[in-house]
């Protein structure tokens, strides 16, 4: 059965978001399936981050429908997004430099036995989720301040996994990383897919997108402007959709 024939984990239909007179998103559609990496690409101010914040519950859309497993839901807050199995790693990562890996992974969600924090249990879970990602973090007691960019990304991603998410949104996860650390992070993204999650990857780096994405969705001026099978689309087609050199009406169907 093709991915398109299955009910998506996440389905957005007609999502519109305005900021005063500015239309940041206009009638946007997006599907995300299990075991799938969907790359969301577009030029600056195309609406990528706004759409991610709508999914994450940071922003409320002015119009449109959001479905989880085919059921309509309202995502009115980040806590509501978490309750629906949606986790987001924003570009700043929000890690605490003065804390170690375990403390960052469980920050604000510490496990307790009675009134005492259960350090041993948290360490065991931290090791497990990092192992699931094939992370190169040397120890769960390593201070985050000593980690590389790629290792920090693995800690931020691991933090989402302790909540057992089904959908993970990654906002520019390879930004400003070296080639080696970028390759490391791309491996983590592939692991999320292998674990059965649906992944939304927001990126300006087309090489990274082509390396891990199954499908590429293009936004232009807050509107859908292309849906492509990552294996068969050409670089020129993607750039054409991003820049508007080839406005696609209707959107090209993706054969999966």
Residue 5 banded pLDDT, cuts 50, 70, 90: low
Name the H helices within the chain.
Answer: 48-55, 78-83, 101-105, 119-132, 149-161, 179-194, 206-212, 235-243
Please give the structure tokens belonging to residue 210.
Answer: 């082509």
How do the domains of the chain map onto residue ranges?
Answer: 1-83+213-256
> Stretch 19-46: mean pLDDT, rounded?
96
CATH top-level class for 1-83+213-256? alpha beta
- Whose tokens are 């999650």? That residue is 197
Beta-bridged to residue 226, according to DSSP, are: 218
Is a pLDDT exceeding 50 seen at residue 253? no
Span 136-154, average pLDDT? 94
Question: Would you state the pLDDT for residue 16?
Answer: 98
User: Does residue 247 have a pLDDT over 60?
Assistant: no
Structure tokens, 77: 């807050």
Q: Each residue of 164-193: pLDDT tens digit?
A: 899 999 999 998 889 999 999 999 999 999
Taking only the tens place, the pLDDT of each residue in 9-23 is: 999 999 999 999 999
Q: Residues of 53-62 as b/e, b for ≥16 C-beta within 10 angstroms?
A: bbbbbbbebe
- Whether the pLDDT of residue 250 is over 70: the answer is no
Alpha-carbon distance 122 to 60, whole Å? Answer: 34
Phi-psi region of 96 (alpha: psi -120 to 50; beta: other; left: phi over 0): beta
**Does the bond joining 239 to the residue before it have cis omega, within 30 degrees of 0?**
no
Two tokens, residue 81: 């997004």
DSSP string, 184-207: HHHHHHHHHHHTT-EEEEE-S-HH
pLDDT value at residue 135: 93
Q: pLDDT at position 246, please? A: 59
Segment 45-72 shows an average pLDDT of 96
């Amino acid at each position: 059965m093709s991915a398109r024939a299955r009910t998506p984990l996440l389905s957005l239909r007609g999502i519109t978001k305005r900021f005063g007179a500015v239309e940041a998103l206009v009638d946007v559609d997006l599907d995300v399936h299990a075991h799938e990496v969907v790359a969301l690409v577009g030029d600056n101010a195309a609406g990528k981050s706004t759409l991610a914040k709508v999914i994450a519950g940071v922003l409320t859309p002015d119009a449109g429908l959001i479905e989880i497993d085919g059921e309509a839901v309202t995502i009115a807050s980040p806590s509501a997004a978490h309750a629906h199995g949606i986790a987001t790693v924003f570009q700043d990562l929000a890690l605490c430099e003065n804390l170690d890996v375990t403390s960052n992974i469980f920050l604000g969600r510490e496990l307790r036995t009675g009134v005492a924090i259960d350090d041993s249990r948290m360490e065991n879970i931290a090791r497990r989720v990092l192992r699931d990602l094939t992370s190169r973090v040397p120890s769960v007691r390593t201070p985050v301040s000593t980690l590389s960019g790629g290792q920090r990304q693995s800690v931020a991603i691991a933090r989402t996994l302790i909540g057992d998410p089904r959908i993970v949104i990654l906002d520019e996860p390879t930004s400003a990383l070296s080639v080696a650390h970028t390759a490391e992070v791309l491996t983590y993204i592939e692991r999320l897919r292998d674990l059965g999650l649906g992944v939304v990857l927001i990126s300006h780096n087309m090489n990274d997108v082509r390396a891990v994405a199954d499908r590429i969705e293009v936004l232009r001026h807050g509107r859908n402007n292309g849906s492509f099978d990552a294996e068969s689309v050409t670089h020129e087609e993607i750039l054409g959709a991003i820049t508007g050199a080839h406005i696609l009406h209707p959107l090209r169907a993706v054969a999966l």
